[in-house]
Amino acid sequence: MTKPSLQLLLPAAKAIETELIALRRQLHQNPELSLEEAETSASAARLLTKLELEVKRNIGGHGIVADLAGGRPGPLIALRADMDALPIQEESNLPFASAIPGKMHACGHDAHTAILYGAAKLLSERKDMLAGSVRFIFQPAEEINAGAQAMIEEGVLVGVDEIYGLHNLPTLPVGKAATRHGALMGSVDRFEIIITGKGGHGAIPDQCVDPIVAASAVMLSLQTAVSREISPFEPVVVTVGSFHGGASYNVIPERAELTGTVRTFSRSVQDAMPSKLQRLISRTAEAHRCQAELRYTKMVPVLVNHDEQVRLVEEAIDLIQGAENRSEAAPVLAGEDFSNYLKHVPGCFFWLGSGPAMCADQANGLYHPQFLLNEECLPIGAALLAGIVLLRLGYANA
Ligand code: NI
């Protein structure tokens, strides 16, 4: 089976660029937060239905699953985009800036939705060339790390052989893409610690049990979980992000509360952290006569790409954008719930350049209130996702 030429995909994607930009801007102006993506989902579903795909709504919340059957039987390849916005007040001054106060597409999920629609359009026009099927997954609630898991629990991966997804990256110039074998993004865990003592007058600490002193000691002891208990060759972060206790200058409170996050690239390190934290927290609190409770939630696993699927993405990038525009991505400890899919099926998640063409240093990063996305990345992203599928399922004699 000879592989099909991908040369025509980018011109075909550029021919629908106006439509992709219009969709992206419409979504940008009307951002919806995680679990609220009703209108975004309805817009995408209307367009997908016109492509004569088999569209299922309300999967794992406002998620959409749209299936495209190829001309011959074969594997089922999934492509995924996320759809939700962030609770950020937009300061971009764009003519199509968010019309909803306090909500903004500052992570470019509006673009991801438009890109996946573009890929669906390109592939539905070429379905007779496919020996297999494509599943387009429009996922809600990525920003709260809930959507992928919810969709998986509703069976979105049943029958899926491989999965691919991308994220725009404004610090990478448009026209470029970056891949990485193995771990690309970190795990995300959240913890809450409640230290209980005995409240009373600040002038008589001997008749109280001070939870603030105990919580301070706990916070410092947590730093040794990384520095003294984990190999320096394993990247891991333990950050305490909030520390609350008491309400008055002269009162010893009954309790103090800490919240924080653990990030790592290693599944074994991730698995080992709750018991390490539990030991440090409970024994340190005990040394200060306090009780400690740890609530530890594993939110997102490490995002680990699969080698064969990374190679396929790299081949698509080289054929569509040119090998000179492909680079190796640096690992980051930020999380992405695409990692949940990769626990079940092989696949690859990669970065799509969405920054200024010449000077990416001037880009405002993801989550910035002045985040700008270079819309030239829309047809490129659509061509890449379609190209991955064509490389995997296409046959030349169609
Ligand atoms: Ni994002």
DSSP state of 52: T
Residue 167 CA to ligand 1 centre (angstroms): 7
Whether the pLDDT of residue 384 is over 50: the answer is: yes
Residue 372 CA to ligand 1 centre (angstroms): 14
Give residues with Cβ within 8 angstroms of 311, minimum separation 6: none
Tokens of 219: 């916070």
For the chain, domains (ranges, CATH) are 3-185+302-393 (3.40.630.10), 188-300 (3.30.70.360)
Residue 205 CA to ligand 1 centre (angstroms): 48
What mean pLDDT do residues 18-29 have?
A: 98
- Give the span between the Cα atoms of 83 and 116, in whole angstroms: 10
What mean pLDDT do residues 27-38 have?
A: 98
Q: What pLDDT sits at residue 360?
A: 60
Give residues with Cβ within 8 angstroms of 69, minimum separation 6: 54, 127, 133
Q: What pLDDT sits at residue 364?
A: 81
Does residue 362 sit in helix, strand or coil? Answer: helix
pLDDT in tens, 242-273: 999 999 999 999 999 999 999 999 989 999 99
Q: What pLDDT sits at residue 394?
A: 87
What mean pLDDT do residues 360-381 have?
A: 89
Counting beta carbons within 10 angstroms of the beta carbon of residue 262, is it exposed (0 to 12), middle (13 to 18) or buried (19 or more)?
Answer: buried
Does residue 231 sit in helix, strand or coil? Answer: coil
pLDDT in tens, 173-196: 999 999 999 999 999 999 999 999
Residue 284 CA to ligand 1 centre (angstroms): 37
Residue 378 CA to ligand 1 centre (angstroms): 15
What mean pLDDT do residues 120-125 have?
A: 97
Whether the pLDDT of residue 275 is over 80: the answer is: yes
Residue 85 CA to ligand 1 centre (angstroms): 9
Residue 195 CA to ligand 1 centre (angstroms): 34
Residue 165 CA to ligand 1 centre (angstroms): 11
For residue 3, name the pLDDT band (cuts at 50, 70, 90): low
For residue 2, name the pLDDT band (cuts at 50, 70, 90): low
Residue 143 CA to ligand 1 centre (angstroms): 7
Other C-beta atoms closer than 10 Å to the C-beta of 196 total 18
DSSP state of 142: T
Whether the pLDDT of residue 146 is over 50: the answer is: yes
Residue 108 CA to ligand 1 centre (angstroms): 6
Whether the pLDDT of residue 106 is over 60: the answer is: yes
Do residues 266 and 302 lie in contact, with contact meaning Cβ atoms separated by under 8 Å?
Answer: yes
Residue 170 CA to ligand 1 centre (angstroms): 11
Residue 341 CA to ligand 1 centre (angstroms): 16
Closest C-alpha among 24, 7, 23 to residue 372: 24
Residue 109 CA to ligand 1 centre (angstroms): 6
Cα–Cα distances in angstroms (integers) from residue 272 to residues 277, 334, 350, in the given order? 9, 20, 28
Residue 337 CA to ligand 1 centre (angstroms): 9
Give residues with Cβ within 8 angstroms of 314, minimum separation 6: 179, 326
DSSP state of 70: -
Question: What is the value of pTM for the model shown?
Answer: 0.90
Q: What pLDDT sits at residue 199?
A: 97
Residue 84 CA to ligand 1 centre (angstroms): 9
Q: What pLDDT sits at residue 327?
A: 98
Q: What pLDDT sits at residue 395?
A: 73
Residue 356 CA to ligand 1 centre (angstroms): 18
Where is 55: in which H helix or E strand? strand 54-59
Residue 334 CA to ligand 1 centre (angstroms): 10
Q: What is the mean pLDDT of the chain?
A: 95
Q: What pLDDT sits at residue 396?
A: 52
Residue 175 CA to ligand 1 centre (angstroms): 19
Q: What pLDDT sits at residue 398?
A: 42
- Give the span between the Cα atoms of 238 and 387, in whole angstroms: 39
- Give the span between the Cα atoms of 181 and 339, in whole angstroms: 14
Residue 384 CA to ligand 1 centre (angstroms): 18
What mean pLDDT do residues 6-23 have?
A: 95
What mean pLDDT do residues 116-140 have?
A: 97
Q: What pLDDT sits at residue 5?
A: 73
Cα–Cα distances in angstroms (integers) from residue 68 to residues 52, 120, 128, 240, 320, in the given order? 8, 8, 11, 46, 23
Where is 200: in which H helix or E strand? strand 200-201
Do residues 273 and 280 lie in contact, with contact meaning Cβ atoms separated by under 8 Å?
Answer: no
pLDDT in tens, 61-73: 999 999 999 999 9
Residue 107 CA to ligand 1 centre (angstroms): 5
Whether the pLDDT of residue 1 is over 80: the answer is: no
Does residue 254 sit in helix, strand or coil? Answer: coil
**Rounded-to-5 percentages of helix, strand, coil across the chain:** 35, 30, 35
For residue 350, name the pLDDT band (cuts at 50, 70, 90): very high
Residue 383 CA to ligand 1 centre (angstroms): 20
Q: What pLDDT sits at residue 397?
A: 42
Do residues 127 and 69 lie in contact, with contact meaning Cβ atoms separated by under 8 Å?
Answer: yes
| 392 vs 395, residue with greater confidence | 392
Whether the pLDDT of residue 376 is over 80: the answer is: yes
